[in-house]
Amino acid sequence: DSDRQTRRRAAVETVPVRDHSLAYPSILASAKPVPFQQPLPLLTFSYTPDRLLEFTDSALRYYVEPPKRAELRYGYERWVRRPEEKGRLDGLLKAVSKVRTRMDAGGSDGGAWLRDVGVISWRGVMTKILTAPYEQRDGWEMNVMEVNGTLYLEEHLSDARLAEKNDIVPHHRLQSYYGYSFESWSTSSKSGPRETVEGHLPGWGGDVDTNVQWCSVVKTKLGDTRIVIGGEVDCVRGTFTGKTDTFVELKTSLAIRGPQDEAKFEKKLLKFYFQSFLLGVPEIVVGFRTPSGQLTTLQSFKTIEIPRLVRGKPGAWDPLICLDWGYRFLSFLKSVIHPRYDDTAILVGKGNTEEANTKARVWRVKFVQGSGVSVSPLD
């Protein structure tokens, strides 16, 4: 049946490349449902145009319907582009420390709660991990730090790879701008009907500055592992309730002209899905565009309904495979990095604060598409 076919498509047999390696997903023929807890928001914060992190909602944007046939090229020359960075965890750690302070002030033992967290990472890293079973194009690397039983995951970009990302060809740069431009056409700094931004085309939400971001930090659980995830939220619909229920993710994609385009889009939906799912974002608004950047149609997706939309289709994928893989991946990391705790099944924070493991160690994880992951210590 089609379920089994989807699983088979994700299955790649491989020989482990190193001692500490996890091949995937010969195991996945028997993917077991791993529970994923509905993400609960801990706090939100903003990056200012000067790229300062502040604990306000100054960068929060509200969804508005973009004008029909909006030109996504508009404002390209005025784009203030944040250079590609190394994906460091600093901002997220600042936010987690703020959460701790607030919890302590509120009388609850936030410190204890946070000691039980197994993983802290940006959403982009978690998306890469979970979508790995279906990744056929790009490999990735990450650094893992372990402190008192908590794994801190950050993307690793070599200097060469970073330079490459900052030196993209103009054509790709423009395409990437279309995505940000769509955000401007589709959002306003105030809730309610769009106000005209002085000196611009009607409907324009203001020139793009990619330094500015509104972020949400959530807590969730994959299997028995508590996870804290931070990531950007494009806008909210109506009002910000303090919960994730009005969050909206914005995306652009080429207009679909045939079955091939459709299959390609369905493959892309895997990333759209997990990116939003991980932060508890319930709605994704996709702006379809022409190759030269004119908006054609809009389509809103309910995040939780996406897996059912692709089931049995040519570009099909199964989120259960991803969650099962993600859980195995995290368990594998823990077993390699902290074998002492592996057999006791007490993985984190239980009375081990005074032990030798207060010193951070760094590990490098390498994912090779179609093959698996390997882990080695950096020092």
Interface residues toward ligand A3P, by CB under 6 A: 176, 179-180, 182, 234, 251-252
DSSP conformation letters of 1-69 = -HHHHHHHHH------SSSSEEE-SGGGGGPPP--BPPPEEEEEEEE-TT--EESS-TT--EE-PPPTT
Burial of 361 (0-12, 13-18, 19+ CB in 10 A): middle
Residues 200-239 that bind Mg ion (CB under 5 A): 232, 234
Contact between 41 and 243 (Cβ < 8 Å): yes
Residue nearest ligand A3P (C-beta atom): 179
176 near Mg ion, judged by CB under 5 A: no
Contact between 240 and 216 (Cβ < 8 Å): no
Residue 214 binds what, of ligand A3P, Mg ion, none (CB under 5 to 8 Å, by partner type)? none
Residue 342 binds what, of Mg ion, ligand A3P, none (CB under 5 to 8 Å, by partner type)? none
Contact between 237 and 248 (Cβ < 8 Å): yes
Question: Site for Mg ion (CB under 5 A): how many residues?
Answer: 3
Neighbours of 350 (CB within 10 A): 12
Residue 180 binds what, of Mg ion, ligand A3P, none (CB under 5 to 8 Å, by partner type)? ligand A3P
Q: Closest approach of Cβ 237 to Mg ion, in Å?
A: 14
Nearer to ligand A3P (CB atom), residue 209 or residue 234: 234
Residue 296 binds what, of ligand A3P, Mg ion, none (CB under 5 to 8 Å, by partner type)? none
Residue closest to 43 by CA, chosen among 97, 113, 121, 118: 97
Nearer to Mg ion (CB atom), residue 146 or residue 234: 234
Q: Closest approach of Cβ 232 to Mg ion, in Å?
A: 4
Partnered with residue 284 across adjacent β-strands are: 249, 301
- From residue 234 to residue 253, the character string flagging contacts with Mg ion as x (rule: CB under 5 A) and all else as - is x---------------x---
Q: Closest approach of Cβ 182 to ligand A3P, in Å?
A: 6
Q: Closest approach of Cβ 249 to Mg ion, in Å?
A: 5
Q: Closest approach of Cβ 80 to ligand A3P, in Å?
A: 14
Nearer to ligand A3P (CB atom), residue 249 or residue 318: 249
298 near Mg ion, judged by CB under 5 A: no
Q: Closest approach of Cβ 135 to ligand A3P, in Å?
A: 13
DSSP conformation letters of 178-199 = HHHHHHHHTEESSSSSPPPPTT
Interface contacts to Mg ion, rule CB under 5 A:
232, 234, 250
